[in-house]
Structure 1
Amino acid sequence: MSFEDLLLEDSLLSAISAQGYTEPTPIQTETIPLILAGQDVLACAATGTGKTAAFVLPLLQKLWDRKQRSHEPVALILAPTRELAFQIQHVIKTFSKQDPIDIAMITGGQAPAAQQKFLDEGCDVIIATPGRLLNLVEQDQADLSLIEFVVIDEADRMLDMGQGPDVATLLASITTAFQTCLFSATLAGAGVEIFANTLLPDATRVDVNASNQYAEQVQQRVYLADNREHKQALLTAVINLDDCKSALVFCNKKERADEVADYLQSQNISAQVVHGEFSQADRRERTRKFRQGKTKVLVATDVASRGLDLPQVSHVINYDVPFRGDIYIHRVGRTGRAGQSGIAVNLVEAHDQKNLERIQHHIGQTLPVVKMKGLAPKGKANKQKSKKSASNRYIAKKDRAPE
């Protein structure tokens, strides 16, 4: 199927072509016709598979099908974080350059007066984080009465952040009949299932890639480390490999992220750090420099593991192994996007082994352990672990890091 087969406007097709896209991804192929037909949709797909465009494109088509726009909000997109909200805004602007859409951004980190101005001046679409929008609704400063189309993006993350009740309250404030689309990287867990079934009892469900899958073109590997100094040396070596054009390095805590960024800078490696302690403006500026190639390495906590569109990331490096398998999937999903190849590296000390085992159970495979020339582990515990998993190594010789 081509984008032309989806019967989209010529201006949309032109914008799609300008971005270099030739064929819709599976999630887009499955969901766009359903959304255009007015059906409620419950869509589950692995990160990096084009979920945002899967709802943005039919939304724009619906807006352009209207003979007149009242500049009263008719579409509401809810996102768990302001970073994701701004990324959605970026995608809408990218595809609507020929026929711009008025957007009101309602998120934390911005002055309420400025957000109120967006609403007062009129808009077609509201993109919001649930808590901030609910505050405006409860103060009678935001009117959702004309909303016809609702998107709930990354519902699993919303529940993790305790936003489920806010979402339910917002939807209850809409008095007209509206179409709802819920997108999530995973529907695993009773809480997510109940949330989805309550909000969309009659939705058409679309599953493209299970929650424990990731892009097939992502190569995964493990380097065993004896201690922090050894892990830092491995990190430097991976970043200095010829195939490492840009790297997103994940840490579990902001203090560790600061420490890793300082270390990389001491090694004359261009690196910046982003985490929750930075202002929104600082995070966006640092991310922009990374996206433009002015910074080679972005060190982040999981504030950057969802929603940020960083299409040119060649390597995701887990300096700290995440605690849960779904977090691992989202981190790995920052590379290998839009059909490109990518590499996911895990730096594993002895205390990381339990987290690694939990991840391997989640994704249903044992990750291959490889060695970096001159930096092989010396610790007995890691040698035993490496020997135990030797039979499961499967990276082709041409894909191995130097030994």
Structure 2
Amino acid sequence: MILMLSMMIIKIHKEKRLNLSNRLSNAKSDSPCAKPEEPLPEEESSKYYDLDTFDESILIRNKNIREYKQSEENVGSQDDNFDNNIDQYKDDDENDEDEIDNDSKMEESVSTNINSIQDEKGTDQNAMEGIDLSAWNQFNLSPIIMNELKSLGFNKPTPIQAKTLHFSLSGRDVIGAAETGSGKTLAFGIPILEYIFKKVKDSNQLVGLILTPTRELAMQIRDHLQHISKNSLIKIITIVGGMSTQKQQRLLSKHPNIIVATPGRLWELFSENDAYLSNLRRIKFLVLDEADRMLEIGHFEELNHILTVLSRTRNNTNEWAENDIKEKECTYELTPRQTFVYSATLNNKLKEDLKRKKYKSKKINKESTGTMTELMHRLEFNDSNPIFLDITPEDAVAETLQESKIDCLTKEKDIYTYYFITRYPGRTLIFVNSIDCIRRLIPVIKLLNIDVFGLHAQMQQRQRLKNLDRFKQNPKAVMIASDVAARGLDIPLVEHVIHYQLPRSSDIYVHRSGRTARSRKEGVSLMLCSPEELSLYQKLCLKLNKVDGLADFPVDRGILNSMKQRINLARQIDQDEHKMQKMNHDNDWLKKTAQEFEIDLDDEEIVNDSNRGNQKQIKEKIRSMKLELKSLLSQPLIPRGVSTKYLTSGIVRDLADRLLDESSHNSAILGVKNTKATDDLRSKKKTIPL
């Protein structure tokens, strides 16, 4: 009897477990789990715009264009899916099956959406009919390119495009130097697309290779070229790190026309495949964008291998055929190849050599290894006299950029940073030189109720793009970044750049500052200069031809003093929380070690009385300080000269009127008008006697 009861109980439990398991499996099927270990979906990168050609006025229109393009691809017009999306996070074999199924199942359901989107596009085109494209007529471009230029609102070429397109469209090699945001992407992209439209008959021919130093820049170039060639069958893919190698190999097997790549991943995929290397040697166009950064450690080794494979005279340049690169016999006739080299910064010595054509006759010695001079030798220009065009301004930065500095102690940089982002709320990029500094600053600024994000090379690619997207969507957000963000980031409308730590070279300063004041819009580049950085500051001014240095940024000391208590509290909270984390980490380590040696520990052995008391005190201290900081942050800052008892007393006599006019005053600082940093800096310059 007992045995039968036991069996019945066991049976009931099994049924309950089975039901629970089914419920859990159904829940999982309804809402799939996140898979952070799998490669980043490149779909996220399509949300960004190319910084070199970004225009705020076409932001909404570009969104409609992307939606229209995506709908067309779902119908099956480009079923090969060359937009490099991997947003399903499934195995590669499953992705292939899904692509086929989606094409057959979604055709009818999407057709109505396409019609509505086409209506929107038609309305948008009607609004754009007034755009005059006569400035482009001189280049005799294909109708597809002209139509897309019109739809994107590019009514005339930028200076770098106007000066280079005549030469590049006629087959000349071009070396171009132009400031950031000047439209270099179209300067080299249009000639490649134009060649494919007019001269390429084989739709599977690899025509162009575009090399970039960063993943984000590669994705942005791809997106922009796809916009310009949207209504064609041109296939453009990206080959970059942080993505699925299987997906990229499958895309390569479908014979793209243009590859936009970073040197590392490209060499990883191509080095073991003779067919890929053979196709690489047949390319018609080679582009190096941000060429000077290609020479940095981590880029040049793979670039060296790629240039060796692309070399037309390898038999005569054995010194370049090193690092175990196998020489392969060439059984085909090499076609002429156009080479485009673009950068925002070139050193003055190289500029002089390029202007005088001296770089071709110079011998490469050990001192020149890994320099732009060596790179010019390695590229083997097909043109005996490549065109060099330099349109960078004398001061190397945009004319609309306001440059300034604040002299302060190292320990005061946090206060001045908090002052600036509170006094002038707006999309702000803060550059530092170390990842440790990013990790220290972010929690402090977060404690002050400011939306802040981080970006550095040790972050996963998924997190990098998510932080970029959040930063882009918030017009008052702050991003603290290393120099990985100095180039190639697609962040629209950055108003301010703060150099929390001074850049190590003038080139880095130019690229950092180039994140703002783009597309003829105004921006501020602010240096926080400590006494320890004075010699570096002087060297930067010398390199940038700033003989008199940078203007001092106007600071309201009354507001600054009232911020010190907040900053000190946030710092102390962060330090104490770090102590708590260290104690917990030590305890976890002790538990793990004891478990490995199969030793049982009591709680008293893990945390002794003194540590337990310290933890309790620190927790109580942190809680108290957070309450105090919360109370301070709930109230507006009170600048010097404002009376908290009587509105009409004190220096600011019209305080009552200011408080009533909330729209034009800073809500975080009592009685202070909302002004732009550019305007305050400009007005200060006017008051300085000559």
TM range (shorter): 0.7 to 0.9
After superposition, the C-alpha distances for 1:349-391 in whole angstroms (9 at most, x for unaligned) are: 222222211211111111111231016999xxxxxxxxxxxxx
Compared CA separation, residues 178 and 172, structure 1 to 2 (3 A): farther
Alignment equivalent of 2:490, drawn from 309, 331, 335: 309
Mean alpha-carbon deviation: is it higher for 94-103 or for 350-359? 94-103
The alpha-carbon deviation at position 274 of structure 1 amounts to 0.7
> Is the aligned partner of 1:194 residue 2:374?
yes
Alignment equivalent of 1:159, drawn from 269, 286, 295: 295
After superposition, the C-alpha distances for 1:163-191 in whole angstroms (9 at most, x for unaligned) are: 34533432443443211111122232662
CA contact (8 A) 1:316 1:343 kept: yes
The whole-number CA distance in structure 1 between the counterparts of 2:522 and 2:460 is 32
* Mapping for residues 24-39 of structure 1, pairs under 5 Å: 24-39=157-172
CA contact (8 A) 1:77 1:127 kept: yes
User: SS state of the match for residue 217, structure 2?
Assistant: helix
CA contact (8 A) 1:69 1:124 kept: no
Alignment TM-score, normalising by the size of structure 1 = 0.87
> Is the aligned partner of 1:218 residue 2:401?
yes
CA contact (8 A) 1:271 1:295 kept: no
The whole-number CA distance in structure 1 between the counterparts of 2:240 and 2:423 is 39
After superposition, the C-alpha distances for 1:141-184 in whole angstroms (9 at most, x for unaligned) are: 62314311110111110112353453343244344321111112
CA contact (8 A) 1:15 1:94 kept: yes
The whole-number CA distance in structure 1 between the counterparts of 2:246 and 2:507 is 37
User: Tell me, which stretches of 5 or more residues in structure 1 are unaligned?
Assistant: 379-393
CA contact (8 A) 1:44 1:207 kept: yes
Alignment equivalent of 2:417, drawn from 224, 228, 235: 235
CA contact (8 A) 1:164 1:195 kept: no
Alignment equivalent of 1:184, drawn from 343, 348, 358: 343
CA contact (8 A) 2:495 2:522 kept: yes
Compared CA separation, residues 170 and 246, structure 1 to 2 (3 A): same
The whole-number CA distance in structure 2 between the counterparts of 1:364 and 1:32 is 30
Q: Which residue of 2 aligns with 1:81?
A: 214
The whole-number CA distance in structure 1 between the counterparts of 2:456 and 2:526 is 20
Alignment equivalent of 2:456, drawn from 275, 278, 291: 275
Q: Which residue of 1 aligns with 2:191?
A: 58
CA contact (8 A) 1:79 1:128 kept: yes
> Is the aligned partner of 1:397 residue 2:533?
no
Q: Which residue of 2 aligns with 1:112?
A: 245
User: SS state of the match for residue 20, structure 1?
Assistant: coil
Compared CA separation, residues 119 and 239, structure 1 to 2 (3 A): same
Alignment equivalent of 2:545, drawn from 354, 358, 364: 364
Q: Which residue of 2 aligns with 1:323?
A: 504
Alignment equivalent of 1:48, drawn from 160, 181, 188: 181
The whole-number CA distance in structure 1 between the counterparts of 2:254 and 2:685 is 55
After superposition, the C-alpha distances for 1:328-352 in whole angstroms (9 at most, x for unaligned) are: 0110011111111111111122222
* Mapping for residues 367-378 of structure 1, pairs under 5 Å: 367-374=550-557
CA contact (8 A) 1:46 1:211 kept: no
The CA RMSD over aligned residues, in Å, is 2.6
Compared CA separation, residues 345 and 139, structure 1 to 2 (3 A): same
Q: Which residue of 2 aligns with 1:340?
A: 521
The whole-number CA distance in structure 2 between the counterparts of 1:238 and 1:9 is 48
User: SS state of the match for residue 109, structure 1?
Assistant: coil
* AA matched with 2:389: V
The whole-number CA distance in structure 1 between the counterparts of 2:453 and 2:293 is 25
* AA matched with 1:195: L
The alpha-carbon deviation at position 281 of structure 1 amounts to 1.7
The whole-number CA distance in structure 2 between the counterparts of 1:15 and 1:176 is 30
Size of the alignment, in residue pairs? 384
The alpha-carbon deviation at position 86 of structure 1 amounts to 1.4
Q: Which structure dedicates a bigger proportion of its chain to strand?
A: 1
Q: Which residue of 1 aligns with 2:269?
A: 136
* AA matched with 1:373: D
CA contact (8 A) 2:210 2:259 kept: yes
Compared CA separation, residues 237 and 11, structure 1 to 2 (3 A): farther
Whose RCO is larger (CA < 8 A, sep 6+)? 1
The whole-number CA distance in structure 2 between the counterparts of 1:267 and 1:113 is 44
The alpha-carbon deviation at position 210 of structure 1 amounts to 5.5
Mean alpha-carbon deviation: is it higher for 213-222 or for 12-21? 12-21
CA contact (8 A) 2:427 2:475 kept: no
Compared CA separation, residues 11 and 239, structure 1 to 2 (3 A): farther
User: SS state of the match for residue 14, structure 1?
Assistant: helix
Q: Which residue of 1 aligns with 2:436?
A: 255
User: SS state of the match for residue 219, structure 1?
Assistant: strand
Mean alpha-carbon deviation: is it higher for 59-68 or for 178-187? 59-68
Compared CA separation, residues 295 and 99, structure 1 to 2 (3 A): farther
* AA matched with 2:309: S
Q: Which residue of 1 aligns with 2:260?
A: 127
CA contact (8 A) 1:187 1:211 kept: no
Q: Which residue of 2 aligns with 1:388?
A: none
Q: Which residue of 2 aligns with 1:11?
A: 144
Alignment equivalent of 2:470, drawn from 289, 304, 313: 289
After superposition, the C-alpha distances for 1:81-132 in whole angstroms (9 at most, x for unaligned) are: 2122112112212322233532222112222212111101221111111122
The whole-number CA distance in structure 2 between the counterparts of 1:252 and 1:145 is 39
Compared CA separation, residues 260 and 21, structure 1 to 2 (3 A): farther
> Which structure is larger by alpha-carbon Rg, 1 or 2?
2
The alpha-carbon deviation at position 7 of structure 1 amounts to 2.5
Compared CA separation, residues 85 and 60, structure 1 to 2 (3 A): same
The whole-number CA distance in structure 2 between the counterparts of 1:294 and 1:213 is 27
Alignment TM-score, normalising by the size of structure 2 = 0.52
- Identical-pair percentage: 31
The alpha-carbon deviation at position 8 of structure 1 amounts to 2.3
The alpha-carbon deviation at position 67 of structure 1 amounts to 5.5
User: SS state of the match for residue 470, structure 2?
Assistant: helix
CA contact (8 A) 1:311 1:338 kept: no
Q: Which residue of 1 aligns with 2:232?
A: 99
The whole-number CA distance in structure 1 between the counterparts of 2:537 and 2:345 is 20
Compared CA separation, residues 249 and 169, structure 1 to 2 (3 A): same
Compared CA separation, residues 115 and 34, structure 1 to 2 (3 A): same
User: SS state of the match for residue 480, structure 2?
Assistant: strand
Q: Which structure dedicates a bigger proportion of its chain to helix?
A: 2
The whole-number CA distance in structure 1 between the counterparts of 2:526 and 2:233 is 40
User: SS state of the match for residue 519, structure 2?
Assistant: helix
